[in-house]
Amino acid sequence: MRERWPLTLRGTGALVLAVVAFVVAQQAAIPELLYFGVLMLALVVCAAISALVVRATGDVVRTVSPEVAEVGGIAEVRLSVRVSTPLPTLPGRWSDALPTGIEGRAEGAFPAAASTLRRAGAPVLLRYEMNGAVRGIHSVGPLRVSTTDPFGVIRRRFAVGRPTEVTVAPTIVELGPLPSSPGEAGGTRQSSALQLGQGADNLVARPYAPGDSMRRIHWRATAHRDTLMVRQEEQESSPAATVVLDRALSRWSPAAGETPGRDRAFETAISVCVSAVARLVHEGYTVDVVDSDGELLADPVEGGEDAEARGLAASFATLRARPDGPSRRIIPAATTAMLGPVVVVTGRVAHDDLSALRAAAPRSALAVLVAVAEDTVGLEAATTGWHATTLAPGGDVAQAWDRAIRPEDARVGA
């Protein structure tokens, strides 16, 4: 009721006094009260006219830090508000409209504003903290300001600026390091014999070219080929890893294919996916993120590019489940040829999926399977060759990852 009533407490009192003065002046025949009532009524009317005729405008610039919030993470919103009003205003209140997917206390006191007829007013700096509650792209705003006229009689409410889109990305959980492995199993941070002339496995010979140092002549290759050859190191490329996010709708609830945030299991799976990518990239792997049907969900993330891994999480802000494909695969066929680590994140695992999983595990240096569902009893024992674990929706992602990659839990297929 208070929000709808246009008069302030002072304005309401003036209107009541005017009515009382008119009544008493007529009953008691006191003309002075009639003059007083007219004065009070004129004050309210003039204030109302000024509020209707003179409109306040303004603009707002929002700065969100960090630019991309995470589910469960806190971001700071800074606002620079510039209000243009021909009449000065008294102190009031402000509030920023927050959507359902963002939580926070976005309100506070708004300072008095001077008239901007002769000069532009100084910007008002405001701030508040928001918490990302639901993954997605949300519109924050507009900013609403409630002030009064110079006499404090009429409330003046106006919106400032336009809404700002804020991205809430899935949570990246810090996962434990991978077990140390040589070759394709280890990232560039685990295997890095990169000095020239060191390590026979990294040396290749090529024909001598003018300008090559004589100290780099490869005498054994020269004698074998009967032509002058020089040593050249073949630098190791960043080893590859694959993360598979199974988006088939049959493995999730129907809500996973609708608005982000409605299926808790699917949200947990996306968090597992981006967390695994961040860990593999940090270990030095170049990571491909694919769907279970082989579709590339994002550009490959180069090893060591931690910022790109967070950018990938931001691109998954609106990712949803999709209808099942004709093959209904749990893992792409191409993944069976992968030598590097393979991480599969899925939901409900059916008995028919086990044979495909067993076929994909032997070639991979590290095959990790995380099934996010309630009814996955016996999955670890049934998936030979995989470091498999189950995770309840909303469960501890880091703990599930540690259970999966423990060396003593590796299951070697027969």
* In-domain check, residue 144: yes
Could you tell me if residue 185 is inside a domain?
no
**Is the domain of 257 the same as that of 402?**
yes
Asked whether residue 4 is domain-assigned, the answer is no
Residue 259 and residue 225 in one domain: no
Judgement on whether residues 46 and 84 belong to the same structural domain of the protein: no
Residue 2 lies in a domain: no
pLDDT (tens digit, 0 to 9) for every residue of the chain, 414 residues total? 456 777 778 878 888 888 888 888 878 778 778 888 888 888 888 877 777 766 777 889 999 999 999 999 999 999 999 888 777 777 888 999 999 889 999 999 988 877 776 676 678 899 999 999 999 999 998 999 888 777 778 888 888 889 999 999 999 999 999 886 534 445 544 444 333 333 444 456 778 777 666 666 777 777 777 787 777 654 445 588 889 999 989 889 999 888 898 999 999 999 999 999 999 999 889 899 999 888 889 888 888 888 888 999 999 999 999 988 766 777 776 665 566 788 999 988 877 777 777 777 666 778 888 989 876 555 665 566 788 888 999 999 999 999 888 755 444 333
Domain tally for the chain?
4
Q: Mark which of 151, 168, 185 sits at the end of a domain.
A: 168
70 plus 154 within the same structural domain: yes
Whether residues 312 and 402 fall in one domain: yes
Are 262 and 197 in a shared domain? no
Q: Which tokens is 390 given?
A: 């189950």
61 and 97 fall within a common domain: yes
**Same domain membership, residue 256 and residue 148:** no
Let me know: does 264 contact 365? Beta carbons within 8 Å: no
Task: Tell whether 332 and 344 lie within a shared domain.
Answer: yes
Whether 115 maps to a domain, the answer reads yes
- Name residues whose C-beta falls within 8 Å of residue 104's C-beta, 6 or more positions apart in sequence: 77, 98, 128, 129, 130, 131
Closest among 397, 387, 175, 190 to 285, alpha carbons compared: 190
Residue-number span of the structural domain to which 203 is assigned: 193-233
Residues 225 and 96 in one domain: no
Indicate whether 211 and 245 sit together in one domain: no
Are 206 and 289 in a shared domain? no
18, part of any domain: yes
Residue 188 lies in a domain: no
Backbone angles phi, psi at 400, to 5 degrees: -65, -40
Residue 13 lies in a domain: yes
Interior CA angle at 190 toward 188 and 193, to 5°?
Answer: 70
